[in-house]
């Protein structure tokens, strides 16, 4: 088994954080996405959509999509449960995963593509598109702050896969994309400090 990875990319980091929380060790193989490694014909045989992370099992089955890879490991190693145990917990975690993905990571990706010189060759950049999505990033930050005002973690009072996904996504937005959350968002700041201080954040 191996996980195709790239240290600086946010989506493989989600999986690395998740695995660290579970205490699972998986060999990593780095794919240089900057030189198109995840779009090379031999890599497209592992993931026809391109992109990393990809988990390759010993029988050569390949699983892509960061959250799908996390779900695989949840099934194989149920403890500690990071996708919830009751029907309500599972639904709540799914709800927050979709909110982080669709309400935050999609806008972050659009600002990255349309507003960053590093991606100028990837798309025909439209600065107004970046501006619109930048607003959505900050709207999502405010909603996250509201949720974290009375919850220790994103989906309640236990650490879950949402925290792993949110930390990797938010750190990408704050860092490479250049859209940090404001210091006035005290609950989001408190959560960020807490989850960044866990050993898994270094994964
Ligand atoms: N929805 C996918 C996104 C995968 C993705 O966009 N990966 C980026 C790295 S964070 C990538 O490989 N980019 C290079 C490329 O697509 O060629 C997931 O959650 O795994």
| Residue 126 covered by a domain | yes
- What does the buried/exposed string (b/e) look like for 80-105 if buried means 16 or more CB atoms within 10 Å of the residue's CB? ebbbbeeeebeebbbebbebbbebbb
Domain at 93, CATH number: 1.20.1050.10
Task: For residue 46, give its domain range.
Answer: 2-76
Residues 167, 181: contact at Cβ < 8 Å?
A: no
| Ligand 1 binding residues, C-beta < 6 A | 9-11, 33, 38-39, 50-53, 65-66
Residues 69 and 8 grouped into a single domain: yes
**CA–centroid distance, residue 197 to ligand 1 (Å):** 26
| Residue 81 covered by a domain | no
Nearest CA to ligand 1 atom 18: 65
State how many domains the chain has.
2
For the chain, report the end-to-end CA distance as a whole number of angstroms: 18
Burial class (CB in 10 A: 0-12, 13-18, 19+), 127: exposed
Residues 70 and 92 grouped into a single domain: no
**CA–centroid distance, residue 152 to ligand 1 (Å):** 29
* CA–CA dist 113, 74 (Å, integer): 32
User: Residue 159 — pLDDT band, cuts 50, 70, 90?
Assistant: very high
Note the pLDDT of residue 190. Answer: 98
* CA–CA dist 116, 173 (Å, integer): 12
Residues 49 and 141 grouped into a single domain: no
Give the tens place of pLDDT for each residue, 111-120.
999 999 999 9
**CA–centroid distance, residue 74 to ligand 1 (Å):** 21
Q: Of 76, 100, 116, which closes a domain? A: 76
Note the pLDDT of residue 69. Answer: 98
Phi, psi (rounded to 5 degrees) for 176 = -60, -35
Domain at 65, CATH number: 3.40.30.10
Residues 28 and 9 grouped into a single domain: yes
User: Residue 97 — pLDDT band, cuts 50, 70, 90?
Assistant: very high
Predicted TM-score of the model (pTM): 0.97
Nearest CA to ligand 1 atom 6: 51
| Nearest-atom index, ligand 1, CA of 38 | 17
Residues 48 and 125 grouped into a single domain: no
**CA–centroid distance, residue 52 to ligand 1 (Å):** 5
Cis peptide before 80 (omega within 30 of 0): yes
Q: Which helix (H) or strand (E) holds 74?
A: helix 66-76
* CA–CA dist 27, 92 (Å, integer): 31
| Mean pLDDT, range 184-196, rounded to an integer | 98
**CA–centroid distance, residue 126 to ligand 1 (Å):** 21
Q: Of 28, 45, 76, which closes a domain? A: 76
178 by DSSP, 3-state: which?
Answer: coil
């Amino acid at each position: 088994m191996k996980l195709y990875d790239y240290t600086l990319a946010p989506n493989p980091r989600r999986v690395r954080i998740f695995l660290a929380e579970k205490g699972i060790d998986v060999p990593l193989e780095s794919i240089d996405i900057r030189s198109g490694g995840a779009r090379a014909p031999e890599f497209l045989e592992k993931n026809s959509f391109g992109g990393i992370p990809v988990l390759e099992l010993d029988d050569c089955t390949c699983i892509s999509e960061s959250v799908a890879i996390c779900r695989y490991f949840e099934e194989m190693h149920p403890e500690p449960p990071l996708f919830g145990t009751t029907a309500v917990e599972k639904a709540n975690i799914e709800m927050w995963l979709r909110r982080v993905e669709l309400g935050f990571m999609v806008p972050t990706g659009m600002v990255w593509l349309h507003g960053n010189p590093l991606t100028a060759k990837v798309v025909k950049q439209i600065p107004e598109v970046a501006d619109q999505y930048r607003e959505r990033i900050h709207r999502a930050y405010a909603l996250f702050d509201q949720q974290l005002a009375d919850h220790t973690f994103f989906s309640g009072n236990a650490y879950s896969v949402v925290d792993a996904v949110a930390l990797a996504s938010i750190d990408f937005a704050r860092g490479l994309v250049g859209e940090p959350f404001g210091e006035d968002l005290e609950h989001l700041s408190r959560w960020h400090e807490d989850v960044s201080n866990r050993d898994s954040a270094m994964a």
